[in-house]
């Protein structure tokens, strides 16, 4: 695929998966450029790294060096609309045009690959695995679906960049992208239905996960969550399968969980080894499960148990995954990317366990009209776990509106009394007028772009005001 290729052009370069690939090629001395619909923090970072990006779907904006089919590879995301002018230009002029998943599959095919699949937990689990490998000073290349706080990047590269690097990737089920991968080690966290606009029904989703498992290389390893039942006859005979779970009988177990506002503690146990008093600062019971399988994978890679413990103790997590924006006695503000009912339920249960005596205000932005329609009852049930709910309008992403599908449908089914619809611009006034203790922003849309402003408002209202009053009181005493 890459013979004679010197230039890589990305359509949708600002996407989290696309940008990691763009960074990899840029690091490997290819000339990289691309298009995205709107500027973001991520596209600004890519531009600062020397990548040429523009935001107008106009063929005239394609740099001259990228107009030669023999030396240019074009990579696009399935979210790009079929009528995209630049995409059609490249297709019509006989360029190599590949989906992101195809390129990722090509890069990993000759390398030892760890692939993390599942409706939930892909980013957190793959990030933990990559962090442990990197901390242990093993050669690692990781393409991640979020920005790791330690590295300020969605791409981890070891200093020695070569084919001996262990590849860690997210195996994305959207558009059946993960079927381009052939992992040595695969992790399966969950198989809940999602992306029904692609799959049509839950059975088709399950079939796709089974097909992914069958892509595991001979004599490979599959780590599968205990609750997932695919049928033993569907699992490859040449693959060693191990289960993992929280406080359940499984091949790899998390036991003796202790919860505090500062950290979670647990013991890791298998038939062969026990690692006691493991500390993770990223909260949530789901992160204990993620850490459990990350430990199991790291042990499979030959990493020393003490290095694993030390690595997890300093792991800071991924931006927008249970990310503390403010942590003060007057106000707690946490931001999370959850956008599926199961993710929201796990997130809210973890927050309630950590702050049982505080009022929890959840601000949720639904993501996609189809997902809202398909999982309406699930959203209503999970969001009813909060004390106060603020619902924003649906973020459409790649979709056109569906008649009758609005956030009001969710609101009507939510069972708590303290609930309201709110526009994005009105949200700041709502927070200014209402008293809050624990504030959560939840969703995969552009709610993430509101976090800094919300944080600044809450900081001013609950933290700076008190500090200013203390300062004034001290001045009066001195006088």
Break the chain into its structural domains and give their ranges: 7-98, 109-314, 323-466
**Structurally, what CATH architecture does the domain formed by 323-466 represent?**
Alpha-Beta Complex (3.90)
Superfamily assignment of 7-98 in CATH? NAD(P)-binding Rossmann-like Domain (3.40.50.720)
Residue 159 has pLDDT above 80, yes or no: no
The band of 199, judged by pLDDT with boundaries at 50, 70 and 90, is low
pLDDT single digits (tens) 47-99: 999 999 999 999 999 999 999 999 999 999 888 888 999 999 999 999 999 99
Residue 17's CB is within 10 A of a number of other CB atoms, namely 21
**pLDDT confidence of residue 439:** 97
**pLDDT confidence of residue 138:** 92
Residue 455 counted as an annotated binding residue: no
Residue 375 has pLDDT above 80, yes or no: yes
Vertex 146, ends 303 and 243: CA angle to 5°?
Answer: 45
**pLDDT confidence of residue 131:** 96
Could you tell me which of 31, 37, 30, 33 has the C-alpha nearest to residue 15? 37
Could you tell me which of 167, 157, 173, 172 has the C-alpha nearest to residue 217? 167
**pLDDT confidence of residue 143:** 93
Residue 158 counted as an annotated binding residue: no
**pLDDT confidence of residue 43:** 93
Residue 123 counted as an annotated binding residue: yes
**pLDDT confidence of residue 220:** 94
**pLDDT confidence of residue 196:** 62
Whole-number Å distance between alpha carbons of 430 and 423: 10
Residue 122 counted as an annotated binding residue: yes
Bridge partners, residue 253, by sequence: 245, 269
pLDDT single digits (tens) 112-141: 999 999 888 889 999 999 999 999 999 999
Residue 260 counted as an annotated binding residue: no
pLDDT single digits (tens) 21-58: 999 999 998 999 999 988 988 999 999 999 999 999 99
Assess if CATH 3.30.465.10 describes domain 109-314.
Answer: no
């Amino acid at each position: 695929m890459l013979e004679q290729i010197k230039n890589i052009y990305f359509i949708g370069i600002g996407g989290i998966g696309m940008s990691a690939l763009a960074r990899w090629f840029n690091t490997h001395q290819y000339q990289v450029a691309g298009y995205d619909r709107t500027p973001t923090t991520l596209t600004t970072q890519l531009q600062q790294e020397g990548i040429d990006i523009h935001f107008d779907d106009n063929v005239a904006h394609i740099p001259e060096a990228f107009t030669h089919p023999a030396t240019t590879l074009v990579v696009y995301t399935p979210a790009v609309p079929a009528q995209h002018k630049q995409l059609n230009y490249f297709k019509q002029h006989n360029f190599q045009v590949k989906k992101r998943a195809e390129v990722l599959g090509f890069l990993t095919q000759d390398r030892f690959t760890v692939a993390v699949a599942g409706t939930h937990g892909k980013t957190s689990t793959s990030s933990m695995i990559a962090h442990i490998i990197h901390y242990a000073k093993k050669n690692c290349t990781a393409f991640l679906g979020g920005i790791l706080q330690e590295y300020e990047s969605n791409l981890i590269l070891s200093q020695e960049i070569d084919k001996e690097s262990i590849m860690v990737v997210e195996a994305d089920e959207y558009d059946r992208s993960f079927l381009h991968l052939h992992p040595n080690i695969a992790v399966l966290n969950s198989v809940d239905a999602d992306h029904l606009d692609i799959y049509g029904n839950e059975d088709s989703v399950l079939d796709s996960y089974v097909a992914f498992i069958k892509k595991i290389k001979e004599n490979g390893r599959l780590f599968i969550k205990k609750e997932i039942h695919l049928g033993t006859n569907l699992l490859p005979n040449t693959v060693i399968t191990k289960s993992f779970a929280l406080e359940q009988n499984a091949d790899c177990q998390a036991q003796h969980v202790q919860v505090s506002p500062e950290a979670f503690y647990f013991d890791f146990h298998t038939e062969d080894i026990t690692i006691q008093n493991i500390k993770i600062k990223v909260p949530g019971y789901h992160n204990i499960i993620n850490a459990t399988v990350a430990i199991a994978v790291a042990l499979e890679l030959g990493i020393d148990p003490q290095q694993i413990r030390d690595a997890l103790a300093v792991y800071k997590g991924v931006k927008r995954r249970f990310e503390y924006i403010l942590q003060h006695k007057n106000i707690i503000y946490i931001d999370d990317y959850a956008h599926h009912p199961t993710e929201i339920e796990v997130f809210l249960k973890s927050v309630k366990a950590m702050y049982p005596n505080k009022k929890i205000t959840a601000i949720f932005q639904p993501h996609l009209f189809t997902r809202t329609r398909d999982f309406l009852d699930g959203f209503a049930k999970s969001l009813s776990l909060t004390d106060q709910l603020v619902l924003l309008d649906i973020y459409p992403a790649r979709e056109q509106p569906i008649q009758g599908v609005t956030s009001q449908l969710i609101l009507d089914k939510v069972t708590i009394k303290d609930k309201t619809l709110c526009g994005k611009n009105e949200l700041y006034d709502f927070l200014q007028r209402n008293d809050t203790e624990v504030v959560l922003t939840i969703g995969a849309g552009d709610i993430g772009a509101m976090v800094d402003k919300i944080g600044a408002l809450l900081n001013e209202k609950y933290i700076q005001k008190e500090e200013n009053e203390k300062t004034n009181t001290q001045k009066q005493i001195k006088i």
